[in-house]
Structure 1
């Protein structure tokens, strides 16, 4: 199943989810210290997100009916007279979202605001959204030329006109302008989503430790409440407040992107950068024994580790023994070479349909060819061997060499994933360049091989010259 990020009309999304009872509106502003004593229902720290250990009624709502009127584990099975649903375990839903609503004004969706920044320029757009000037009598003075200091409200009204002006000056930004126009229904919003407190935790002991997102949301909550509640706020004060709300909304969007995508983000640090089962890291040396471009040789201990479950399963079925006994045999084989286990290894290599597939990878995994699907052709019967042998032809793909470089290795258990990874097989997917349809230089001979071939081709000529020279010397 593929997962894609999509743009949404935040106002429509807010109305839909709040009216269905899934989400809620945030109408009150408070501080962390106050909320730790008694969490409210309509704040950015609302109990509707789910409780924590610090709450006096911690985790009560994990057991509830559909409408939430009846809660608590001790009421499990009780039928709610309102929604007619039985109380059962529901858990905390991280999709529950609170919403801040700006009354009477709109700002830009932060994703599309980034496109506006790219078209107009970061410094330029910062000057545009600054509040306009006022004369000595307090009257608003709008610029007669250009768009500097027209304020947020005017920018929201004239965004298309302003973008067209800057696209004429920067024709190379036309595709960004077209993207904004295509998504113009999502461009403006008065609704700001406040994601689950489970993903921005607060820990209180001797001191309070809070997610950086809470600091940003705290300012947004305060600004939106002030904007909505101060009826006698001047026009310039409102413009200043809208500018601040926009910039902090951009900040929370940037925080989310950083938390997911960048080096310290969740995907790279907790998923790609986390430990993998059935994986190894081994130093590489050349495999130069007439091998195919997709063949490798693994060390004995590495194969034992990554195919542990398969070896144990083979022992259980062939010897009719229990799992614990098979596990003991496998573990003993990791300390002392076992011919029996080695025979199983070679049987797997010989009899597995399509061969034993193995993924090798060299960080960073951003270059095409940095992840390769290989086939194990042999395991040396030597427990003291710790190196993996790979063909010379894949060095360029991995941007590696034989001066002590180490590669990551993963054995893939899922047939679906193996099929998906066939596009990373160097033999079938990388010998022909995907750029021009010609023979890929990366898969061709390396410089050392070309030098040796050149010497071999010239060897008969050099021998003939040497013999001719010797004969001439003999005649003299």
Structure 2
């Protein structure tokens, strides 16, 4: 069924079945009367209820609602306009201002009654000349760039809104009604008395402009700031997040941040309440109430609990992000070292080393903080930790985006020596145990060599616990080769 009516109502307050608010394609919020149809839509009407359709062989039944997957069309054949893809393609070929001028201007008639040729092509010309002039340039078949059937989506998604005696028509419905009216004009073109080409061109131009409006509205509904993609993926509220102005943390490692007392109390309310309940043997409901009461004003009782929480085995990790997210390193995975000593400090303290990575500075920039509460995700985020960005993965050299300090280079050089020593220790523990003890400066009992080795390694970088830093970036290269490539 095609749309052939440009009316909103017929016979008083009934919406025509061949109009843009047809119930067959999904009734809108103002629809009251039921709709009767067979599955294929060839036989419709309440008077035919129960009648067997000659096309599909199914009976006519009462439909509670139309199928939203069905698409209506406004058929303007034998004329054609540009599709969305066609408009974008021809904009590249002819340039946007030229194409816009084509669909907004109309040929003029001279004193002699003849059309004045201004040298500009029309939509009719673009369609007729496409195969010869434009196909060699675009390489796209004409059927993908031009259409004579203009799709109209369900009225359920663009309802006609009525409030008592008032009625609101959405912009997309105004465009569809204008297109339907243009179709009626095109179908009556044989009745034009003089220069029907002018009227056809004018009508096609208006239909093209209206269709471009529909496309723009649909694209905004899908891709715009309030579109379904952003709502579903980005713009929806995310639990356990915060946003803070950043300030300088002078004694922080590259993967550490300090945050306000209030941030931890609010984002980690459940964990703190659970710890309080265990430590003081009180009901969890009472613990939650106490956390909520003391969330905004610093309480040393809770500071002690927060410190226990921050210094737990896994620690507290989070993703921080500075908008706009212009590169991979705009999102980093960091560990919360401690809360501020000043209870009125509401900023996030960052190390200076990561500013260039995040394209940030301390002039009021803000960071988003998203807590990682499930330890299972820790392993997946580790490669987003700043400690992994010292080495550029593209060339194996120092990443100049990091604010290097001599101490970091010295520690990384020492890491290669420890890594080599650990490899030798695995092969021959007895002969290297004394050497390891001296190098690491710790005891190396036979039962805890591995644990104490990693304890020493954590002093250098407490996130690199997978398979040694050198192996990640240099494979089987020796410590000397790795050191040489780094210029150490």
**Is the TM value for this pair above 0.5?**
yes
Counterpart position of 1:75: none
Alignment of 1:302-381 (within 5 A): 302-312=263-273, 324-335=285-296, 337=298, 342=303, 345-351=306-312, 353=314, 355-366=315-326, 369-380=329-340
Judging changes above 3 Å, is the alpha-carbon distance between structure 1 residues 387 and 150 closer, same or farther for their aligned structure 2 residues? closer
1:457-472 → structure 2 map (5 Å cutoff) = none
**Contact preservation (8 Å) 1:131, 1:239:** yes
Q: 1:284 to 1:137 in 2, by over 3 A?
A: closer
Q: State the distance in 1 between where 2:59 and 2:135 align.
A: 56
**Which residue of structure 2 lines up, in the alignment, with residue 455 of structure 1?**
none
Superposition TM-score, scaled by structure 2 size: 0.63
2:150 is paired with a residue whose SS is strand
Question: Matches of residues 54-453 of structure 1 in structure 2 within 5 Å?
Answer: 54-56=30-32, 95-128=69-102, 148-163=119-134, 177=137, 180-182=138-140, 185-205=143-163, 207-228=166-187, 230-233=189-192, 234-263=196-225, 272-273=234-235, 275-291=237-253, 293-312=254-273, 324-335=285-296, 337=298, 342=303, 345-351=306-312, 353=314, 355-366=315-326, 369-380=329-340, 383-412=343-372, 424-429=384-389, 432=392, 439-445=398-404
- Which residue does the alignment assign to 1:39? 15
Query: How many equivalent pairs are there?
Result: 387
User: How big is each residue's C-alpha offset from its partner over 1:111-164, in whole Å with a ceiling of 9 and x where there is no partner?
Assistant: 331221122112323455556667777677878xxxx33322221122254337
Separation of aligned partners in 2, 1:415 and 1:86: 55
Tell me which moved more, 102-111 or 305-314.
305-314
Inter-partner Cα distance in structure 1 for 2:152 and 2:235: 28
Looking at structure 2, the residues matched to 128 and 370 of structure 1 have their Cα atoms a distance apart, in angstroms, of 44
- The answer to whether the Cα contact below 8 Å between 2:29 and 2:160 also exists between their aligned partners in 1 is no
Equivalent residue number for residue 6 of structure 2: 29
1:128–1:155 Cα contact (<8 Å) kept? no
Closer/same/farther in 2, CA of residues 121 and 377 from structure 1, 3 Å limit? same
Find the aligned partners of 1:358 and 1:85 in 2 and give their Cα distance: 59
- Give the whole-Å Cα distance in 2 for the aligned partners of 1:308 and 1:93: 46
Counterpart CA distance in 1 for 2:268 and 2:345 is 17
Single out whichever of 42-51 and 117-126 deviates more from structure 2. Answer: 42-51
Q: Label 1:332 to 1:236 Cα distance change in 2 as closer, same or farther (>3 A).
A: same
| Superposed displacement of residue 240, structure 1 | 2.4
Distance 1:98 1:419, change over 3 A: farther
Q: SS of the residue aligned with 2:401?
A: helix
Shift of 1:381: 6.5
CA deviations 1:429-469 (Å, max 9, x no partner) are 575286x77544332359xxxxxxxxxxxxxxxxxxxxxxx
| 282-291 or 358-367: bigger deviation | 358-367
1:163-189 deviation line (CA, Å, top 9, x unaligned): 379xxxxxxxxxxx5xx4256552222
CA RMSD in angstroms comes to 4.6
Residue 26 of structure 1 contacts residue 42 of structure 1 at CA under 8 Å; is this kept in 2?
A: yes
Q: Between Structure 1 and Structure 2, whose CA radius of gyration is higher?
A: 2
Aligned mates of 2:177, 2:284 — CA distance in 1: 55
Deviation at 1:283, TM superposition (A): 2.3
Counterpart CA distance in 2 for 1:374 and 1:236 is 67
Deviation at 1:392, TM superposition (A): 0.7
Alignment CA distance shift 1:403-1:140 (3 Å): closer
Unaligned stretches of 5+ residues in structure 1: 1-23, 71-81, 166-176, 447-476
The alpha carbon displacement at 1:399 in A equals 3.2
The runs of 5 or more residues in structure 2 that have no matched partner are: 45-56, 406-488
SS in 1 for 2:295: helix
86 and 242 in structure 1: CA distance in 2 versus 1, 3 angstrom threshold: closer
